Amino acid sequence: MKILVTGANGYLGTGVVDRLIADGVEVIATDFCGDNVNKKARFIQADLFQLDDPYTYFDRPDVVLHMAWRDGFVHNSSRHFEDLPKHINFIQNIAVMGSMHEIGFFEGCITEHTPCWPQSNYGIAKDALRNATQLYAKQNHVQFQWLRGYYIVGNVARGSSIFSKLAAAAMEHKKTFPFTMGQNQFDFIDYEQFCEQVAAAVQQDEIDGIINICSGRPERLCDRVERFIQENGYDIKLEYGAFPDRPYDSKAVWGSSDKISQIMTKYHNK
């Protein structure tokens, strides 16, 4: 199997490329630069939106895992709308990295049938791309996978999540970290587990549609962050209440793990 990974030099892309290579997959990686990409991957530098025939340009891959997305953690960036038609033009037979932010404000377990009412530019753009990808796949009789990611926990300082920012603050020897009250409950998944689930999903074709990349259980943000500090031995304290909660964040939300559990069972038994 030959898999093209876009956004391969990013925080998530590098880990997924590593996992695919460990599984023996032939990986074609692309991004604006490849400084962080596994050297065992075949790296092709490109601006995806400037290619007339990306399928041929990237040597006709079996699967395209589209992870490239600018300003993913800047939820109200105007680039989400500016880039949306370019993403739509790029997609073909493809698996796309989605986000639980396309759901919007919701409380409870998110399934593939949960209605989407996104409340940020990022969520709106992601949801629109999901609909366009699903329609294209149906019209052209190709497989559609939308890999809906949740809250990823990793101690890589170059990321943009609260955990990456906390890791960066600890490396700078800061003693305090501004925080919300942390009472919201989210579905947290460790970075390595996230990469493994994404890699497993794109290597099989029996289960498709919307696939939650998740743990399947909720946990309070404050509990997970405090545990993250302990796990990494950071000498830093949280400043509770320094920031308000974002108005579009749900009080308790998590993903249904039914599909990914089936995929992972077969992945570990192969």
Give the per-residue pLDDT at 198.
Answer: 97
Give the per-residue pLDDT at 87.
Answer: 85
Strand 188-190, strand 151-153: pairing: parallel
Q: How far is CA 6 from CA 21, 44, 57, 224, in A?
A: 15, 10, 13, 30
Give the per-residue pLDDT at 166.
Answer: 93
Give the per-residue pLDDT at 92.
Answer: 58
Give the per-residue pLDDT at 59.
Answer: 93
91 closest CA partner among 66, 62, 70, 67:
66
Name the catalytic one among 122, 150, 191, 234.
122
Give the per-residue pLDDT at 91.
Answer: 74
Q: How far is CA 15 from CA 29, 104, 110, in A?
A: 12, 27, 25
Which pLDDT tens digits describe the chain residue by residue (270 residues)? Answer: 899 999 999 999 999 999 999 999 999 999 999 999 999 999 999 999 898 888 899 999 999 999 999 887 778 899 888 988 888 878 755 778 899 999 998 999 999 999 999 989 999 999 999 999 998 888 888 889 999 999 999 877 677 789 999 999 999 999 999 999 999 999 999 999 999 999 999 999 999 999 999 999 999 999 999 999 999 999 999 999 999 988 878 899 999 999 999 999 999 998
- The CA radius of gyration of the chain, in Å to the nearest whole number, is 18
User: Do 28 and 42 meet the contact criterion of CB atoms below 8 Å apart?
Assistant: yes
Please state the pTM of the whole predicted model. 0.88
| 234 a catalytic residue | no
Give the per-residue pLDDT at 241.
Answer: 95
Residue 94, helix vs strand vs coil:
strand
User: Do 204 and 266 meet the contact criterion of CB atoms below 8 Å apart?
Assistant: yes
**In 15-28, which positions are buried (b, 16+ CB within 10 angstroms) versus exposed (e)?**
bbbbbbbebebbbb
